[in-house]
A and B are shown apart, each in its own frame.
Chain A
Amino acid sequence: MAHSALAAAGRDSGARLEALLGDPGEAANPAGYRSVLAADRAGVPPAAAERLLDAFGLHHEFVPAGLGGRLTSMAGLVRVMRPVFRRDVALGVGYGTNSFSAAADVWIEGTARQRDWLASVVLGGGRATSAPYETAHANDYVRGRILARRVPGGFVLSGSKRMTSNLGRARALTLFCRTGPGDGPRDHSVLLLDTAELPPARTLMTVRRPAVGLRGGVYGELEFRDCPVPADTLLGAPGTGIETALRSAQISRTVLAATVLGAVDTGLRTAARADRNASPVLAEAFVNLLLFDSLALVATRAVHLLPEETSVYSAAVMYLVPRILATTLYDLSSVLGSRAHAGGGGPAILSKHLRDVPAVALGHAGSLACQAAIIAQLRQLAARSRHGAEPAPATLFDPHGPLPPLRLNAGALALACGRDSLGASLAVIAEEITGGTPTERALGSLAAGMAAELRDLRERVLALPPLDPADRAGPLWFALTDRYTHLLAAAAVVGVWWHARGRGDPFLADPAWAAAALHRLAGDLGLPTPRLPPECWTRIQHEVRARLVDPHSYDLFRVPVAG
């Protein structure tokens, strides 16, 4: 373990967990690459690594402090989960985010009794899981519908969900089911079920093995055959299932997207260690990590600072997981060649991350769900921004800034508000950037291009006929939403760099990474991409090397890592 990791260990739980999980390259480490790769091949969770997390009490991090746990901020949760995802995405999801996502439904919508019960389950080492409702263009991970018929004293459940995470070992289940006649916005409800109380004769659980990604995860098909459940299982008001799902997704998407970045940090470290040709891919990958983390930071901090806007930022950051993070892993695989597919430890962790990272985003169905959350308010967002919206506060962009208390409730987390302070910040900051050095000038011109593209997007959205959700929304809406998510990432980059100037981290204050990040995003958007000054890339390459030699994370936080 790196000495600096130990030194930092006393301070926060992320550093303590990183130190506890230790050097992932060590063959005997139960949370090391060799161990998690063996579990992946066997199709089972890495038991020894899970015991380490048990000993650490990671599950306490998922329960709000007010209910006896250690959860006080989204930023803290992301910090403590990244070390897990650096080693094993399946472990991070199976042990952590899956339970947290299901629990978030309850923290937000539950009665005092329901929240107390779930807190006691999770704090006692039990798990929670969720069976979401079937969204558009469903795949195996989303498919399946449960019907809940109202009967005196409760409900009778029928139907099945094909892939439910941790089925058989999760005590609590948030079940999204249809309680209305159709697929309207008030036709779904959520039930909070104690799986230990379900009548076995009416509940079938069949083990399902994931084909490619998250092979070490436990999944099962859940089928109800006229299964009675009591009325007090209802979570939230009847007919509010879709709203609960949307609200909870604002939290779970943000945490999952922000933490899965850890796997790509490992990918970069692995490739940098193996690199023999000073590949330019390494610096590009680091830039991609920083640009993704900029939006992840904004989405995470927005839960505290701008909770009514998180519907947009959480959907955008999750939408970009396959586009920025998964593609970066492929870029890094070009450095390793076929070594990335070798069976043992070391470089082989990259091929596992290559399979696992796209899996957390749920493919096309996942993209559509994120796009729908934005498309539903895109017109209002465009209309509001036309009149010069208020930019975001500087603290939204500060990786180390204090946060107001976390409010996980339906009142704080609006389904939508039609406001985008992040985009407004881009417009304001882009006007103020004055370039002294060639890199600053390049950054200024790229930022101005992004601001112009955001204005153009606004006009294109307003030129479309208003959206009729009952009618079809053409692919144009989806293409514009894709552009918008990239522009939000650009806005986050500009904001993080702008507010880092003159602060503690000289690398973040340097325009090099921000210019390179906007350059990459401009390419994604099909905008002009003038060549960046060579010193810009030199600065970034130097930082990649520095964080390899003295192991520090490849993200905005630059925390010590164990190797």
Chain B
Amino acid sequence: MTALAPWGDGPSIREPVEVAGADADWQRPVEDLDACGVAVVHARLAGWRPPDPRAGGTELRGLLGREWHRYLAIADPEIRGRFAASRLLLKHAAGAVLGGDPKELELGYGPTGRPYLRGCDQIDISLSHTEDLLLVGLTSRGLIGVDAERASRPMYRSGLGRRVCTQAELASLTGLPEEERDAALVRLWTLKEAYSKAIGQGMRFRFTEFGFTASGFTASGVAPNGRPVRLEHPDGTVCTADEWSFRTFAPAAADGRVLSVAVYDTGFGRTTDIALPTLLDSSSVQAIQRVLARTQ
């Protein structure tokens, strides 16, 4: 029997790490996934946007795989560049933590556009981008959703709060000094987005139907006061959903952007191994192939 250490103590979600480009050092995300079952990376578009494909696209074509034609069909060069950059980041990140070639991975999309690795469910993935920042979350625990927004976005002032907040959240936002309300709402918004993306719903999940701990956060709107962030009913009572973890970060390298992460633990415990080279259960395959060889 393989002895496995349980998941490490301390925060189950570590601060997102910046990856400059495909040849970045992936050691931190690999360690994070191993230690916590969660790794989150962020990057700048410029570091991942490929050169125009007409200037030699063989490598890019291999990496985009079945999405190559979809990529070529995007008319707007800005959107096309972002499309490619986000896919490259997703595949490189997944390839790095799974010990495999990113070209061998295929991305699939759920009904609301949620990405996943087709046929490889040892990790779940999530993607977000805002302005020139890309954010990718990976987990071997179950489900993950990530979201990024500029912290200084005047969300509260523009009246968005009433459309996306529960009564309890609105009450605690009103209780904050005026200059802190925007940042606090941005934090709530990204948490709601992250949760909704983790369960594959995107904007379909009405944001006023569930809330998060709104009070007790510092002026930046991002530093928890030690209390775990919990999912709440609209009236502010805590939901019985212990299998969820939520965190918000504002790393200096993210340049004023707030990054939120929602992780669901399906409770299967640690998997002995998640590497791509060991996917096949060879004893059962050999047993089946012996039978096929006899009958054909």
Contacts and interface: CB of A to CB of B under 8 A. Distances in A.
A520 B110 CA distance: 9
A159 interface: yes
A418 to B, nearest CB: 6
B59 interface: no
A330 B266 CA distance: 14
Given A159-B1, A211-B267, A380-B292, A245 B119 contact: no
A483 interface: yes
A140 B104 contact: no
Given A343-B240, A472-B277, A138 B272 contact: yes
A111 interface: no
A358 to B, nearest CB: 6
A141 B108 CA distance: 27
A428 B267 CA distance: 43
B199 interface: yes
Contacts of A188: 283
Nearest to A351: B241
Contacts of A372: 280-281, 284-285
Given A211-B265, A211-B267, A143 B2 contact: yes
A147 to B, nearest CB: 10
Interface string B208-240: 011100000000000000000001111000011
B111 interface: yes
A416 B292 contact: yes
A482 B285 CA distance: 17
A5 B45 CA distance: 60
A137 B288 contact: no
Q: Chain B contact residues: over half helix, strand or loop, or mixed?
A: loop
A373 B288 contact: yes
Given A367-B121, A520-B111, A375 B266 contact: no
A369 B283 contact: no
Interface residues of A, number: 86
A416 to B, nearest CB: 5
B281 A369 contact: yes
A212 B278 contact: no
A34 B229 CA distance: 28
A376 B1 contact: no
A13 interface: no
A526 B266 contact: no
Contact of B269 (A140, A376, A467): A140
Contacts, number: 235
Nearest to B278: A136
Contacts of B121: 322, 363-364, 367
A469 B119 contact: no
B290 A358 contact: no
A331 B278 contact: no
Interface stretch (A68-76, A166-174, A334-342, A547-555): A334-342
B267 A359 contact: yes
A354 to B, nearest CB: 9
B266 A338 contact: no
Interface in B125-164: 140, 142
Contact of B266 (A145, A183, A213, A482): A213
A139 B268 contact: yes
A489 to B, nearest CB: 15
Nearest to B202: A334
A369 B100 contact: no
B122 A364 contact: yes
B204 interface: yes
B287 interface: yes
Interface string A375-394: 11100100000000000000
12 contacts: A137-B272, A185-B287, A188-B283, A327-B110, A355-B267, A358-B266, A371-B119, A375-B285, A416-B291, A467-B285, A475-B105, A478-B120
List of 6 A-B pairs having minimum Cβ-Cβ separation, nearest first: A337-B209, A212-B267, A140-B269, A478-B119, A211-B267, A376-B288
Given A139-B272, A364-B268, 14 more contacts: A141-B268, A212-B243, A242-B283, A327-B200, A330-B200, A337-B209, A341-B231, A351-B241, A359-B268, A372-B285, A373-B284, A473-B279, A474-B276, A482-B108
